[in-house]
Chain A
Amino acid sequence: MKLYRFIIEILQIAILLGVAPAFTGWVRMLKCWSQGRTSAGIFQPYRDLLKLFSKDVLLADNASWIFRFTPYLVFGTAVLAGAIIPMLSLELPIASTADVIVLVALFAIARFFTALAGMDIGTAFGGMGSSREMTIASLAEPAMLMAIFTVSLASKSTSLSQMVHVIYSGQTVLRPSIVFALLAFVLIALAETGRIPVDNPATHLELTMIHEAMILEYSGRHLALIEWAGMMKLFLFVMLGVAAFAPWGIAESGDIVAISAAFIFMVLKLVIVGIVLVMIETGLAKMRIFRLTEFLGSAFLLATLGMLSYFILE
């Protein structure tokens, strides 16, 4: 039985690794359609990754171990995070040892090392990207924690599986605190995964790029790992949002049928989230970086309001 649960765990990680590029491909495809361009297909990210893996790594002379270590660390934390978030089943052996706060910490570690690596070579762009990334992080993380606390207040636990359980059993559907937390979460997720209006994942324009600036010096398999981790991060945030706010479909037991149903639900949700994401991205213009404080300030405000309305209204 115990072994079986580990199999689910491994299955989930496999899905994370396998489906994340497809989701990114789906989003890019939708974006192409919405802009009237021909898309490269849903599998283009796989081809990109494959291409990068087969290329040589080109390292700068002054690159230290941090620079070489970072891609593996970023990739590793993403995989570990994937093992915590319930995507298919609630019975995850690792999930019971780690809660949402650990999850935030994992993302923070990845970001910290990416920022260090950005500065490691000593190019102007890397430093600029790192500084911007940390600015965003310093504002986004409190808001993120606040949103998560709001949800965990409502479910009286910080464990994700527990939260899902509570939402399953709860009678309350319309909870203002959850809605506020969801809105806050959407804003934070846009910032954390580097989407418009915070960052533009498709550009390498010097003045505006944030995440891309930090990883400008990477090549070959290093870049492949980081790109892959980036896709996984987007996927994970979607899964986190789904687990915390709309978990319906995730299997409560380890039953094969339930898990297959959960997989279908997951794919459906991904399709929908992709459409919503593209709608947001095409509807908005990228913000000036100085407006970001307001954007993330709003996220913080929403999360705090969610927490307050939990106390005041519920």
Chain B
Amino acid sequence: MDINVVAQLNSFLAAFVLLTAFGMLVQRRMYGLVHLFAWQGLFLSINTAIVGFVAGKHHLYISSLLTLSLKVFLLPYILHVLIQRLKVHKEVEVVENVPMTMLMGIALVIFSYYLMSPVTQLSTLVTRSTLAVALATVMIGLLMMITRKHAVTQIIGFLAMENGLFFAATSATYGMPLVVELGVALDILIAAFIFGIFFFHIHTTFDSLDVDQMARLKEED
């Protein structure tokens, strides 16, 4: 494949990853969120495979497959089942001030670009320009966890952050060593089981998954 075409495909997919991140930031419906998350995983997976192909790094194929199975199928499936079991699929979350959140997201993108520009200049890889997008995805995941008040949404924000980190590893260095990638995937899997258990605990204890209700532990004056 022509290196130029690859660079373009890469930035194209990066743009879509960013777009899905923004989509998740303002998506109200639970299933919509899960689907967006799955799409993001798919873009990442394709991107990883392309990068692996052009850079001749075969371990990236494994990462790509791992992403595909974990983040496109398994995690969305788990979330789907959880949402169904917890009967929150009809819940529409109140998202405060969407335009403001979007503007903050844009500010984060600019901030990431600013932060990453010295690093990008040092890099010689085809994928270097997407590093800023990767950081922006992490930051938007963080923003999502701050602005959203639903346990499921917060977890999706957390997973989106993880996606951004994976993306960062791919674009900065053609992926971390395989041992590390596998370990991170394992951690995410464990985390998935833990939050699954947690959802039920929260649901039975608080009768809702709104984390705003969990505000008993505060500093007393």
Contact = CB atoms under 8 A, between A and B. Distances in A.
B151 interface: no
Interface in B82-123: 98-99, 102, 105-106, 109-110, 113
Interface in B137-184: none
Interface stretch (A1-9, A112-120, A209-217, A298-306): A298-306
Interface string B11-35: 1101110110010001000000000
Contacts of B18: 305, 309
Contacts of A301: 22, 102, 105-106
B19 A305 contact: yes
Q: Counting chain B CB atoms within 10 Å of each CB, which of A180, A294, A312 scores highest?
A: A312
A171 B5 CA distance: 10
Contacts of A294: 26, 98-99
Q: Which secondary structure dominates where chain A touches chain B?
A: helix
A312 B106 CA distance: 13
B67 interface: no
Given A174-B9, A175-B8, A312 B19 contact: no
A301 B11 CA distance: 18
B153 to A, nearest CB: 17
A12 B4 CA distance: 38
A313 interface: yes
Interface stretch (B55-63, B72-80, B127-135): B127-135
Nearest to A296: B99
A176 B129 contact: no
Nearest to B130: A313
A179 interface: yes
Contact of B15 (A172, A179, A298, A311): A179
A179 B26 contact: no
Contacts of A179: 12, 15
Given A174-B8, A175-B8, A297-B98, A305 B26 contact: no
B8 A305 contact: no
A67 B18 CA distance: 47
Nearest to B8: A174
A309 B105 CA distance: 14
A275 B105 CA distance: 34
B14 A313 contact: yes
A109 interface: no
B15 A180 contact: yes
A293 interface: yes
B148 to A, nearest CB: 16
B216 to A, nearest CB: 34
A146 to B, nearest CB: 11
A309 B113 CA distance: 10
A308 B109 contact: yes
B99 A305 contact: no
A174, A175, A180: most-surrounded residue (chain B CB, <10 A): A174
A153 to B, nearest CB: 15
B113 A297 contact: no
B118 to A, nearest CB: 14
Given A176-B14, A176-B15, A297-B99, A305 B133 contact: no
Interface of A: 171-176, 179-180, 293-294, 297-298, 300-302, 304-305, 308-309, 311-314
Given A297-B102, A308-B106, 10 more contacts: A174-B5, A293-B98, A293-B99, A298-B102, A300-B102, A301-B106, A305-B18, A309-B14, A309-B18, A313-B130
Question: Lowest 4 CB-CB distances: which A-B pairs, in order?
Answer: A176-B15, A313-B11, A297-B99, A174-B8
